A and B are shown apart, each in its own frame.
Chain A
């Protein structure tokens, strides 16, 4: 983001309860001054051009009537969501696109040079999600900028009123960008930030025994510890209270998710390296696993390439 340019947020909504929750979540977030929020919805393509050509006059009129009604409904939805955001002081605009939801959101994020895309997640238990992959997963995977996936609030209410943020930190450029972004927000008084670095062990054939003895591993561990100390001392966390932890684990994604659950996080923040499809297939992505299974809303911060 350029220093003096406004902070641009793209909020995608489809009128569902999770999309509504995404707006609620955004309204509760401590946003920077000069933040512009574009509230967007995507209408499904009902008929393609070649199908339209086959319609007679009456059918065409009926189709256009249906389409204009759905556009009006969509506009009403967007206006309602925009008004809610304006009520908490945000500057908003609305946008309707037609096509495939994830594709259109990613296209708008790319062309509009947004800083963050916000989407609600329907959860991985949804049968449609199982078959087609969720819109939030696709947006997460292909978006050129940071993505905030808002998940429905857990039934287990958090005991205190403090905002609890879990930062998965590996000292990579995206992780540093995530920490800087978090620290730059006007976080409420007594916000609790838990920063965790997880070093991956190779447990199969008990290679972890040799791995932990290797001097390279010791160096990596010392560097990770120092990075956490820097995060605690060199970053100005203003009102937030930060604690750090360095852990070693076989399944890093699982452990981060467990730790975030134990911390009763309201939000997980993680750096997203943005691997290519080939790299994701071959090397996997901890960020993608964490984003998919996160027990709370998650912000994946991606740096510009």
Chain B
């Protein structure tokens, strides 16, 4: 038994064959279970790591800018890295780009429709430009890759681009910390050491970190071949499944926190979360995936996914410059509308199927 579980985890073909034997309904159930594992695993991991970091006396501001900030993007990162490593570049790239579109179009759009989300100029004039800049950088590098690719050769995001993005990620996190200290957030020297009753036991913290990590790895490991098999069954490219179904699933942490923020009457944290998640989807998710293995860029990214991403992000930037106090409801409808059109068109027109 143990031997067979190990084979499922380690041997690519065993897992692929297993997925191929399942009915479509079972595959969809597997995908839902994997997404739940990714989400719960990330939640446990963050909980454990924040607890452990708090014991060391790290300032809250550092924990907020690193662990918590990266935490909600963990599902996307693990899925994309796993996909890149297992030779599914469309899934890796589609998940990263699709998550940016889902975060901004679906989640932020919905938040604006439900409540008045305040425009936090401090965040939007700093992280907001990094959000637009990093996505633009991804598109510029991808167009460059297209231009230098030989005839008949697939353009690639080479590994050095992955490492470049990861380096920019480190710089971005440092800048986030600096911005937080300079006034965007308060409590500069505030240590995160909570009282005894707020801390969990040390062993429990480690169980949550390790258990969470296992759930995330296992969820990502099984999700990739399941999503790949679903793409074959539906006769759509992998990146379509990645940009729709998988991106929605891996964006669940952002969706859940946005819903909680709206329900609890604190929508202001949604802006920072969405903008931060978009930056991390490029620098962390696509960066780590490209660093793991060079990513081929399918043709439909140039005429469909990248333009859709830029339309959403450009709309967002225009709304920021237009708004004085809050994002308006019609702007939420616009973002959500673009997202829905993006999703529907992929299946209706079977984008990239000829590729």
Interface on A for B, CB 8 Å cutoff? 200-202, 204-207, 209-218, 220, 252, 282-284
Q: A220 CA to B261 CA in the complex, in Å?
A: 14
Determine the main DSSP class of A at the interface with B: helix
Bound complex: CA A200 to CA B266 (Å): 8
Q: A216 and B118: CB pair below 8 A?
A: yes
Query: Which residue of B50, B183, B261 contacts A202 across the interface (Cβ within 8 Å)?
Result: B261
Instruction: For A252, give the chain B residue with the smallest CB separation.
Output: B264
Contact with A along B250-281 (1 / 0, CB 8 A): 00010011001111111011001100000000
A213 with B60, Cβ < 8 A, contacts A200-B265, A206-B68, A206-B71 known: yes
Mind listing 26 A-B residue pairs with CB under 8 Å? A202-B261, A202-B264, A204-B257, A204-B260, A205-B46, A205-B72, A205-B256, A206-B46, A206-B67, A207-B257, A207-B273, A209-B60, A210-B68, A210-B273, A213-B60, A213-B180, A213-B186, A213-B190, A214-B268, A215-B122, A215-B183, A215-B185, A216-B120, A216-B266, A216-B268, A284-B263
CB proximity of A216 to chain B, nearest CB, Å? 4
Contact B68 A218 (CB under 8 A): no
Residues on the B chain within 8 Å of A200, using CB: 264-266
Contacts of A282 in B (CB 8 A): 114, 263
A204 touches B268 (CB 8 A): no
A210 lies within 8 A of B46 (CB): no
* B61 closest partner in A (C-beta): A213
Residues of B within 8 A of A220 (CB): 266
Q: Which residues of A contact B272 (CB under 8 A)?
A: 210, 214
Residue in A209, A215, A216, A283 whose CB lies within 8 Å of B68: A209
Which residues of A are found within 8 Å of B43, using beta-carbon distances? 204-205
In angstroms, Cα B186 to Cα A210, docked, is 10
Contact A207 B269 (CB under 8 A): yes
Beyond the given A202-B266, A214-B268, please list 20 additional residue pairs across the A-B interface where CB-CB is below 8 A.
A201-B264, A202-B257, A204-B253, A204-B257, A204-B260, A205-B253, A206-B46, A206-B71, A207-B260, A209-B64, A210-B272, A213-B186, A214-B185, A214-B272, A215-B184, A216-B268, A217-B268, A218-B186, A282-B114, A283-B114
Alpha-carbon separation in the docked complex, A210 to B46 (Å) = 13
Give the CA-CA distance A282 to B265 in the complex, in Å: 12
Select which of B69, B257, B269 is within 8 A of A214 by beta carbon: B269
* CB atoms of B187 and A209 under 8 A apart: no
B192 in contact (CB, < 8 A)? yes
> In the complex, how many angstroms separate the beta carbon of B76 from the nearest chain A beta carbon?
13
For residue B69, which residue of chain A has the nearest CB?
A210
- Contact among A206, A210, A283, A284 for B269, CB-based, below 8 A: A210
Is A206's CB under 8 angstroms from B268's CB?
A: no
Number of B residues, CB within 8 Å of A: 40
Does B47 sit within 8 A of A, measured CB to CB? yes
Check if B309 is an interface residue, CB within 8 A of chain A.
no
Query: CA separation between A200 and B262, bound complex, in Å?
Result: 11
Q: What residues on A are CB-neighbors of B266 within 8 Å?
A: 200, 202, 211, 216-217, 220
Question: Shortest beta-carbon distance, A52 to chain B, in Å?
Answer: 48
Q: Is the CB of A205 within 8 A of B264?
A: no
Closest to B180 in A: A213
**Closest residue to B261 on the A side, CB-wise?**
A202
CA distance A201 to B198 in the complex (A): 14
Tell me the bound Cα distance from A200 to B264 in angstroms.
6
Q: How far is the CA of A217 from the CA of B120 in the complex (A)?
A: 12
**Which residues of chain B in 27-62 are interfacial with respect to chain A, using CB atoms and an 8 Å cutoff?**
42-43, 46-47, 50, 60-61
B116 within 8 A of A: no
Given contacts A202-B261, A218-B186, A284-B263, contact A207 B114 (CB under 8 A): no
| Chain B residues, Cβ within 8 Å of A217 | 266, 268-269
The CA-CA distance from A201 to B68 in the complex, in Å, is 14
In the complex, chain B residues whose CB is within 8 Å of the CB of A206: 46-47, 50, 67-68, 71
Measured between beta carbons, the chain A residues less than 8 angstroms from B61 are 213
Shortest distance between the CB of A224 and any CB in chain B (Å): 12
Query: Which residues of B sit under 8 angstroms from A284, Cβ to Cβ?
Result: 263
Contact between chains at A205 and B120 (CB < 8 Å): no
Asked whether any CB of chain A lies closer than 8 Å to the CB of B139, the reply is: no
Cβ-defined contact, A205 with B68, below 8 A: yes
Given contacts A200-B265, A205-B253, A216-B120, contact A210 B114 (CB under 8 A): no
The answer for the CA separation of A216 and B272 in the assembled complex, in Å, is 12
Q: Which residues of B contact A209 (CB under 8 A)?
A: 50, 60, 63-64, 68, 192
Contact of B71 (CB < 8 Å), options: A205, A213, A216? A205
In the complex, which residues of chain B have a beta carbon less than 8 angstroms from the beta carbon of A216? Answer: 118, 120, 266, 268
Interchain CB contact under 8 A, B187 and A212: yes
Q: How far is the CA of A211 from the CA of B61 in the complex (A)?
A: 11
Contact yes or no, A205 B257, CB < 8 A:
yes
For the complex, give the distance between the alpha carbons of A252 and B260 in Å. Answer: 12
For B48, the closest partner residue in chain A by CB is A206
Residue of A nearest to B192 (CB): A209
Residues in A neighbouring B180, C-beta threshold 8 A: 213
Bound-state CA distance A172–B264 (Å) is 14
Q: Is the CB of A283 within 8 A of B256?
A: no
Does B68 lie within 8 Å of A207, measured CB to CB?
A: yes
Contact indicator per residue, chain B 189-228, by CB within 8 Å of chain A (1) or not (0):
0101000000000000000000000000000000000000
Which residue on B lies nearest to A286, using beta carbons? Answer: B264
Nearest Cβ in chain B — how far from A251, in angstroms?
A: 10
Chain B residues closer than 8 Å to A202, beta-carbon distance: 257, 260-261, 264, 266, 269
Residues of A contacting B253 with CB < 8 Å? 204-205
